[in-house]
Amino acid sequence: MRRWSVGVRDDQRAHQIETIKRVARQLLATHGSTGLVLRDIAREMGQTSSAMYRYFANRDELLTALIVDAYNDLGAVVERAEAKVDRNECFERFVATGKTIRRWALAHPHEYALIFGTPIPNYQAPPETIVAASRVVLVLATIVNDLPRKQHVRRVGSLNASDLEPGIGEFLVGVTPSQAGRALATWSSLFGLISFELFGHFVGSVKNRSAFFEASLEEFWKGLLSE
Amino acid sequence: MRRWSVGVRDDQRAHQIETIKRVARQLLATHGSTGLVLRDIAREMGQTSSAMYRYFANRDELLTALIVDAYNDLGAVVERAEAKVDRNECFERFVATGKTIRRWALAHPHEYALIFGTPIPNYQAPPETIVAASRVVLVLATIVNDLPRKQHVRRVGSLNASDLEPGIGEFLVGVTPSQAGRALATWSSLFGLISFELFGHFVGSVKNRSAFFEASLEEFWKGLLSE
DNA sequence: TGTACATCAGTGAACGCGCGTTCACTGATGTAC
DNA sequence: TGTACATCAGTGAACGCGCGTTCACTGATGTAC
């Protein structure tokens, strides 16, 4: 029978897992996703590559852990930033959320690419990533849910209820499917802007990326609501 | 001195280069960007891997060729589709452009990822890719340029002329920088929508992706113009 | 409290594989006179 | 038109390297009685 109190060994195990992931994130940041090599992580830690298999069954499991962590890290940072804003100021909450997502993306470009960039070939994301992924989405959804006058959320013209998944009603409450569609499009636009910037598609056109992002963010909000 | 008429050898050479790229695109489509392996391409062609070096100095050069081709293919397809629409119907031209980009992306997901997804680590895009990249952008710019009443293009509130690169004025003519910013944001939103769909971020929320895209496209256009 | 045993972390060598790239070469095709 | 030479496509073997993963093992740490 397993002891239910957490002993020294368990502590060290958890600590070691954290170290592996920290080093992995470091390599990710310096060498890109190609640099995520088990042997390099072990070398960096002064250990053998086979030691890694005490903590992760294989490379994909480590990758999953990093993806889940990235979603959670972004989620936590955004939740914290958004929570600081007056609950009644939905626009300010939206701006804080957007700016925080962008700041996190710029600070962790490779982790951002991991979760919002090209899917990794031959890698199937397990369900646990979906749970972690929903955190940021939930922040944005809550802002819409907290709007005092929901009828002001613009509809997406020719969108029917059947065009969206039924589950969407649990996230976005008190709005019509057509309005939910507008919210989805707004989020997609937000991440589109960040991806375009991060992946180099504003080279030669946008100079002051922060100013452009923040100005666009404001317009996205205006577009979400009807005057 | 080189013969200026193109001989049989030159024809065959050009044909061989096309074959290599075609096979490479096939492998890209079936195995993702990881599947882009010189040895596999050669094997598929019934040749030795070293034979590839008659046509491409190294793997990066082939990659560049594929990227340039992808941009040009997308550009050509979009140009053709957009040209079919009545020049006076700017909205219809925008819709045709957007729908064609999406259709191409769905038909060539890995080529789309190559040019609009996560940048490839340790790969520096040479200037020739930028030229090819500008074709699609130009189509979208021309639609805005052809608008009869440009004052109806919405401005991006707090955007200054200095926030954009000066060269933007050569693409988007007759509009203020603030209006050009709105156009840029619209394009970014368009590609954001496609990337979100392709990279799996609408799983669990959007069911009928075509309907959602087309409905959103219409809203993007409305957002571009003030009533 | 002490002892026998079980559990776990980490080692080091090896397996099997695949990669991009080089190089000396052969034979076919084109070119110059 | 014929011949000598240059150019080119493609071969096959090899280099050097790195990868994920396995496996028998050693020694330290925790557990049960």
- Where do we find the tokens 């589709």? B81
According to CATH, where is 1.10.357.10 located in chain B? 60-224
Query: In CATH terms, is domain A1-56 a member of 1.10.10?
Result: yes
Residue A43 in this model has a pLDDT that exceeds 80: yes
Identify from B102, B118, B171, B225 which residue to disrupt to test chain A contact, counting A C-beta atoms within 10 A and taking the largest count. Answer: B118
| Residue B157 or B66, more confident | B66
Closest CA to B27 of B139, B111, B138, B91: B111
B165 and A206 within 8 Å at the Cβ level: the answer is yes
Bases of chain D with protein Cβ within 7 A:
8-14, 18-24, 29-32
- With pLDDT > 70 as the criterion, what percentage of chain A qualifies? 96
Closest Cβ–Cβ partner in A156, A165, A200 for B119: A200
Burial A141-175 (b: 16+ CB within 10 A, else e): bbbbbebeebeebbbbeebeeebbbeebeebbeeb
B207 and A121 within 8 Å at the Cβ level: the answer is no
This model's pTM is above 0.85: yes
Distance D29 C1' – A64 CA (angstroms): 30
State the pLDDT at residue B11. Answer: 81
Distance CA A41, CA A19 (A): 10
Q: Please state the rounded mean pLDDT for residues A170-190.
A: 96
Cβ-contact B40, B27 below 8 angstroms: yes
According to CATH, where is 1.10.10 located in chain A? 1-56
Residue B3 in this model has a pLDDT that exceeds 60: no
Q: Please state the rounded mean pLDDT for residues B127-149.
A: 95
Under the banding of pLDDT at 50, 70 and 90, the label for residue A227 is confident
| Residue B121 or B146, more confident | B146
Residue A4 in this model has a pLDDT that exceeds 80: no
Which chain A residues are Cβ-neighbours of B157 within 8 angstroms?
A: 215, 218-219
Write the pLDDT tens digit of every residue in B32-46.
Answer: 888 899 999 999 999
State the pLDDT at residue A34. Answer: 86
Cβ-contact A41, A23 below 8 angstroms: yes
Under the banding of pLDDT at 50, 70 and 90, the label for residue B135 is very high
A184 and B205 within 8 Å at the Cβ level: the answer is yes
Which chain B residues are Cβ-neighbours of A117 within 8 angstroms?
A: 117-118, 199
Average predicted confidence (pLDDT) for chain A = 94
Under the banding of pLDDT at 50, 70 and 90, the label for residue B2 is very low
Closest Cβ–Cβ partner in A118, A171, A196 for B199: A118
State the pLDDT at residue B68. Answer: 97
Q: Which fold has domain B60-224?
A: Tetracycline Repressor; domain 2 (1.10.357)
The 8-class DSSP code of residue B153 comes to B
Under the banding of pLDDT at 50, 70 and 90, the label for residue A2 is very low
Write the pLDDT tens digit of every residue in A9-31.
Answer: 778 899 999 999 999 999 999 98
Closest Cβ–Cβ partner in A181, A189, A200 for B212: A181
Q: Helix, strand or coil for residue B67?
A: helix
Cβ-contact B189, B217 below 8 angstroms: no
Residue B17, C-beta contacts closer than 8 angstroms, at least 6 positions apart: B55, B65
Residue A3 in this model has a pLDDT that exceeds 70: no
State the pLDDT at residue B25. Answer: 97
Q: For residue B191, give the chain A residue with the closest CA.
A: A192
State the pLDDT at residue A205. Answer: 97
Residue A203 in this model has a pLDDT that exceeds 50: yes
Cβ-contact A132, A68 below 8 angstroms: yes
Distance D5 C1' – A127 CA (angstroms): 69
